[in-house]
């Protein structure tokens, strides 16, 4: 019975380990921030950004799809969402403006083959 439990535990740990994204961390001595890069399973960069030494998100964070196309541009100040965030989804670009972790405005653009239209929400 103990061997079965141990085997199941080992299988669970190995599954969790494989499910986590590969990442690279490096202390930037000039900014005193931790530069981080996450990778998709295919080796393409998934996210880039910065952590403070106490683990809070800081500055610009970029997310990319599995083909390397930028999908999100975000900004943090000491762990709080700030500034303009951009989301690229197919032919739609959403701009969300944050102040102190709260949404202030949303603008959405739809692009067809001939023109762009801005829609304010």
On whether residue 12 sits in a domain, the answer given is: no
Q: Poorest-confidence range of 17-26, 41-50, 79-88?
A: 17-26
On whether residue 41 sits in a domain, the answer given is: yes
pLDDT at 68: 96
Decide if 28 contacts 34 (C-beta within 8 A).
Answer: yes
pLDDT digits (tens, 9 = 90+) for 63-84: 999 999 999 999 999 999 999 9
Q: What pairs with residue 28 in β-bridges?
A: 33
If one counts the domains in the chain, the total is 1
pLDDT at 64: 96
Which residues have C-beta within 8 Å of that of residue 106, sequence separation ≥ 6?
94, 95, 96, 97, 120, 121
Give me the domain span that covers residue 110.
Answer: 22-120
On whether residue 46 sits in a domain, the answer given is: yes
On whether residue 96 sits in a domain, the answer given is: yes
Nearest CA-CA partner of 60 in 38, 76, 39: 76
On whether residue 16 sits in a domain, the answer given is: no
In this prediction the pTM is 0.74
Decide if 49 contacts 60 (C-beta within 8 A).
Answer: yes
pLDDT at 9: 43
- Judge whether residue 12 has pLDDT over 80: no
Q: Poorest-confidence range of 8-12, 90-94, 110-114?
A: 8-12
On whether residue 1 sits in a domain, the answer given is: no
CATH number at residue 107: 2.20.110
């Amino acid at each position: 019975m103990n061997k079965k439990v141990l085997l199941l535990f080992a299988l669970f740990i190995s599954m969790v380990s494989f499910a986590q994204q590969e990442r690279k961390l490096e202390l930037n001595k000039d900014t005193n921030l931790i530069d981080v890069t996450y990778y998709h399973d295919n080796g393409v960069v998934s996210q880039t950004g910065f952590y403070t030494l106490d683990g809070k998100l800081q500055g610009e964070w970029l997310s990319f799809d599995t083909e390397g196309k930028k999908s999100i541009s975000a900004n943090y100040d000491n762990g709080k969402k700030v500034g303009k965030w951009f989301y690229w989804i197919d032919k739609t670009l959403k701009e969300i403006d944050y102040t102190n972790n709260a949404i202030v405005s949303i603008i959405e653009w739809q692009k067809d083959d001939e023109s762009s239209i801005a829609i304010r929400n």
